[in-house]
Amino acid sequence: MKKENIVTRKWGDRRKGKTDWARVDALTDEDIAEAVANDPDAVPIDIDWSDAVLIVPPKKKAISIRVDEDVLDFFKREGEGYQRRINAVLRSYMQQKSKPKKRA
């Protein structure tokens, strides 16, 4: 790495952004609506939230667990959220084992 590419800053120093906040503040609701209407990537959101149900995820408990290295590597290769996916696999196993057994 070249030394000229390294930037050091003191703790608490703030970088000035490139956003023109005065221009943003000057926009009217009509200006914003027109910009959205002319934006090909803007998709109208028409969602009925009246039947929405809030689901609070169960509280997680931090533990230490030993798993085979290849198992951990497999989940990590899938990207961020590997711990959540491992938890989902364990939950699925738990639910399958908790089902009442069918009699033949």
**Mean pLDDT, range 10-19, rounded to an integer:** 80
- Confidence (pLDDT) at 1: 54
Question: Domain of 67?
Answer: 62-99
User: Do 60 and 71 meet the contact criterion of CB atoms below 8 Å apart?
Assistant: no
Q: Does residue 69 lie in a domain region?
A: yes
Please give the tally of structural domains in the chain: 1
Question: Is 10 part of a structural domain of the chain?
Answer: no
**Residue 31 covered by a domain:** no
pTM: 0.46
- Longest CA–CA span in the chain (Å) reads 75
Domain presence at residue 12: no
pLDDT of the residue at 104: 66
Do the Cβ atoms of 55 and 61 come closer than 8 Å?
A: no
Of 8 and 3, which is predicted with more confidence? 8
| Residue 70, in any domain of the structure | yes
In a domain, 88, yes or no: yes
Q: Please indicate, yes or no, if residue 71 is contained in any of the structural domains.
A: yes
* Residue that wins the pLDDT comparison between 19 and 103: 19
Report if residue 91 sits inside a domain: yes
Q: Given pLDDT bands bounded at 50, 70 and 90, which one contains residue 72?
A: very high
